[in-house]
Amino acid sequence: MFPVSKYNVLGTGVSALTLAQAGAFLVAARGRKGLGYVCATGVHGVCEARRDPAFRSVLNGAWLNVPDGMPLVWLGRWHGHRNISRVYGPDLMLAVCDTGRLTGLTHYFYGGAPGVAEELRAKLTARFAGLRVVGTFTPPFRPLNEAERDQFRRDVDSKRPDVIWIGLSTPKQERFAAGISSSLEAGVLVTVGAAFDFHAGRIRQAPRWMQRSGLEWFFRLCLEPRRLGTRYLVNNPLFILRTGAQLTGLRKYPLAPPSAVN
């Protein structure tokens, strides 16, 4: 369904899409079950995948693995996909919530700290009249035990949402989506990271000019230096070196096969 071209970034296949196209695909998927999962991936995700082949195969097994960061957009254009644009997870969430109202698309929020998913539901239903949020689930910070997984499955199966939005961290959220998607009576799972905290009003977003210029990482680093220091100050230089080697042909990064996590 919906075949999409992908380009290779350090062995990870990234979907060559615009925000409008990605949103249209999710809205058009209404009523279809078992579509799998969608990942919104930036430099951090690609670097994690470079270190961990199993995680790389999780990203490559996604129905869509959209370019969440400007460096991935620039690389997509270098590969010849001139019309590609950033598919920023928080923007994708808003676009689908807005457009999906016209067709009765149903949503489910999984993730966030205690209270965040409910705050998110309140904020978005106030913002988008007619938005249908059929459920929320706040997981513990540790992996779910079997009883908790069963509780989540039963809740989803009873509500049958078209889209389950997952707001955890990378690579936790992508692994969870890949591991559980085939066992749920749901349409598609979409990993959107900090979108829950942004839209619930708990964390400030970078100004648009910083987002468009690829400087969002610096804004977030200034807000959370302890948590994000290693991610950005180590990953970003490594990413530049490795993509330089890939683009000049000094090193090959073959695509990993999709994961059989399920």
Q: pLDDT digit string (tens) for 63-83?
A: 999 999 999 999 999 999 999
What are the backbone dihedrals phi and psi of residue 5, each rounded to the nearest 5 degrees, phi first? Answer: -70, 145
Q: pLDDT digit string (tens) for 109-143?
A: 999 999 999 999 999 999 999 999 999 999 988 88
d(CA 184, CA 22): 22
ω into residue 140 within 30 of 0, thus cis? no
Residue 259 confidence (pLDDT): 57
d(CA 73, CA 66): 10
Q: Comparing C-alpha atoms, which of 51, 192, 223, 202 is closest to residue 123? A: 202
Q: Are 96 and 199 in contact (CB under 8 A)?
A: no
Residue 203 confidence (pLDDT): 86
Runs of H (alpha helix) within the chain: 19-28, 43-51, 53-60, 70-78, 89-99, 116-127, 146-159, 172-180, 195-199, 208-212, 216-223, 225-247
The tokens describing 2, both together, are 């919906």
**pTM of the prediction?**
0.92
Distance of CA 43 to the CA centre of its chain: 12
For 149-174, letters b (16+ CB in 10 Å) and e give beebeebbeeebbbbbbbbbebbbbb
For 28-54, letters b (16+ CB in 10 Å) and e give ebeeeeebbbbbbbbbbbbbbbbeeee
d(CA 60, CA 6): 10
Mean pLDDT by runs of 10 across the 262 residues of the chain is: 85 97 93 91 96 96 96 96 96 97 95 94 96 95 91 94 96 96 92 94 88 88 86 91 95 77 44
d(CA 87, CA 69): 8
Domain residue spans in the chain?
A: 13-247
Residue 262 confidence (pLDDT): 41
